[in-house]
């Protein structure tokens, strides 16, 4: 708010304020587009009963990873994994990816080889083909991956479907991903498809932190959440970072971000069916942490925990 500042910066607007603006600046008009900006992936109708999903995500050196603390394989893994996580959050199946890599001239060939080994290992795991890309020059390493997937029309889960009475559930544990999980996590593709199959009403992947991402599930007016803090699955990493202080670790579980777990809502009846099949299919933890309530009844409004914002 200095006197001489002529133009508002994006920092003053914040990441989500900026995204809201961008939505107005580039309306997506095509009839084919089922969902444009504002969900985990874009969704468009490709044939009867089938949706196509498309997402892009960029990681930048010294923001999303630090060279000294990440192996080249981990950087490649993360570049693809964050996109897979977006497909997972729709209940979709990933198909093909493009990789655009920006490198400095003096990058070693060995780095690039190991970077692609990381991408390849993850791609093979989910039968994703790397079908193209682009190389650019820059001072710092950055990588954009665009990923195309598909989903069944009836089993595609958006952010906006939560209904009063639904349970709020999360996979895995939260917090402290900076200790390593943010570079090595396994995208919840299989879990996401299974959850979608059992009829989740809304879903998102936790990239900016539970406390922030839950707000994206409140797009529908009149709904809120009650979260039982005692039930939030705090990770061991979060407890390590706070030296066993459970209260501080809980804050980390809400705020740290980059957990890449799935946060979803589902009716109690459907949850029961899901829960019954879960242990046979997955080792991943599945926890009910709260419930969807109407805002008028929501005595405990979800606190505005701060998660990660890029600006």
32 binds its own copies per the rule CB under 8 A: yes
The residue length of the chain stands at 311
41 binds its own copies per the rule CB under 8 A: yes
CA–CA separation, 269 vs 286, rounded Å?
16
Cβ proximity of 214 and 298 under 8 Å: no
Strand partners, 93: 150
DSSP helix/strand/coil, 167: strand
Handedness of CA 74, 287, 94, 205 (dihedral sign): negative
CA–CA separation, 235 vs 308, rounded Å?
18
Residue list 81-100, contact with its own copies (CB under 8 A): 95-96, 98-100
Least separation in angstroms between residue 132's CB and its own copies is: 4
Nearer Cβ to its own copies, position 47 or 296? Answer: 47
Nearer Cβ to its own copies, position 123 or 169? Answer: 123
Nearer Cβ to its own copies, position 119 or 169? Answer: 119
Residue closest to 145 by CA, chosen among 90, 77, 72, 52: 77
Please identify which residue in 1, 2, 4, 22 interacts with its own copies, judged by CB under 8 A.
Answer: 22
CA–CA separation, 228 vs 238, rounded Å?
18
144 binds its own copies per the rule CB under 8 A: yes
Nearer Cβ to its own copies, position 130 or 164? Answer: 130
117 binds its own copies per the rule CB under 8 A: yes
Per-residue exposure over 217-254, b if at least 16 CB sit within 10 Å of its own CB, e if not:
bbeeeebbbbbeeeebbbbebbbebbeeeeebbbbbbb
Nearer Cβ to its own copies, position 136 or 276? Answer: 136
Q: Using CB under 8 A, count the residues that bind its own copies.
A: 78
Least separation in angstroms between residue 121's CB and its own copies is: 11
Where does 138-267 have alpha helices with state H? 181-184, 189-197, 210-213, 236-241, 246-255
Please identify which residue in 70, 81, 90, 148 interacts with its own copies, judged by CB under 8 A.
Answer: 148
Q: Which residues contact 101 (CB under 8 A, 6 or more apart)?
A: 112, 115, 133, 134, 135, 136, 141, 142, 143
Of 6-14, 168-176, 258-266, 292-300, which part binds its own copies (CB under 8 A)?
6-14
133 binds its own copies per the rule CB under 8 A: yes
Cβ proximity of 36 and 140 under 8 Å: no
Nearer Cβ to its own copies, position 29 or 296? Answer: 29
Please identify which residue in 2, 49, 68, 110 interacts with its own copies, judged by CB under 8 A.
Answer: 110
79 binds its own copies per the rule CB under 8 A: no
Please identify which residue in 84, 123, 223, 232 interacts with its own copies, judged by CB under 8 A.
Answer: 123
103 binds its own copies per the rule CB under 8 A: yes
Helix (H) or strand (E) segment spanning residue 60: strand 50-60
Please identify which residue in 65, 77, 116, 158 interacts with its own copies, judged by CB under 8 A.
Answer: 116
Least separation in angstroms between residue 241's CB and its own copies is: 23
105 binds its own copies per the rule CB under 8 A: yes
CA–CA separation, 202 vs 122, rounded Å?
26
Show the binding pattern over residues 50-69: x = contacts its own copies (CB under 8 A), - = does not.
Answer: ----xxxxxxx--xx-----
Residue list 201-230, contact with its own copies (CB under 8 A): none
């Amino acid at each position: 708010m200095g006197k001489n500042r002529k133009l508002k910066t994006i920092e003053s607007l914040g990441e989500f304020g900026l995204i809201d603006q961008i939505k107005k600046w580039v309306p997506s008009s095509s009839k084919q587009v089922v969902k444009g900006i504002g969900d985990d992936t874009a969704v468009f109708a490709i044939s009867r009963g089938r949706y196509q999903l498309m997402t892009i995500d960029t990681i930048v050196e010294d923001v999303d990873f630090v060279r000294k603390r990440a192996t080249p394989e981990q950087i490649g893994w993360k570049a693809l994994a964050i996109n897979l996580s977006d497909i997972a959050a729709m209940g979709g199946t990933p198909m093909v990816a493009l990789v655009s890599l920006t490198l400095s001239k003096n990058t070693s060939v060995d780095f690039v080889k190991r970077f692609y080994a990381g991408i390849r290992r993850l791609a093979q795991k989910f039968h994703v083909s790397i079908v193209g890309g682009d190389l650019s020059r820059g001072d710092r390493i950055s990588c954009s991956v665009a990923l195309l997937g598909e989903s069944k029309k009836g089993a595609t889960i958006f952010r906006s479907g939560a209904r009063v009475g639904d349970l709020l559930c999360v996979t895995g544990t939260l917090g402290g991903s900076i200790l390593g999980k943010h570079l090595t996590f396994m995208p919840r593709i299989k879990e996401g498809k299974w959850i979608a199959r059992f009829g989740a009403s809304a879903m998102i992947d936790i990239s900016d932190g539970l406390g922030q991402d839950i707000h994206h599930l409140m797009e529908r007016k009149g709904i809120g959440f009650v979260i039982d803090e005692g039930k939030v699955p705090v990770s061991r990493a979060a407890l390590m970072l706070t030296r066993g202080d459970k209260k501080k670790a809980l804050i980390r579980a809400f705020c740290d971000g980059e957990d890449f777990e799935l946060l979803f809502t589902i009716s109690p009846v459907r949850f029961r069916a899901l829960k019954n099949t879960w242990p046979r299919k997955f080792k991943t933890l599945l926890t009910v942490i709260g419930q969807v309530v109407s805002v008028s009844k929501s005595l405990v409004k979800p606190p505005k925990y701060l998660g990660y914002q890029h600006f």
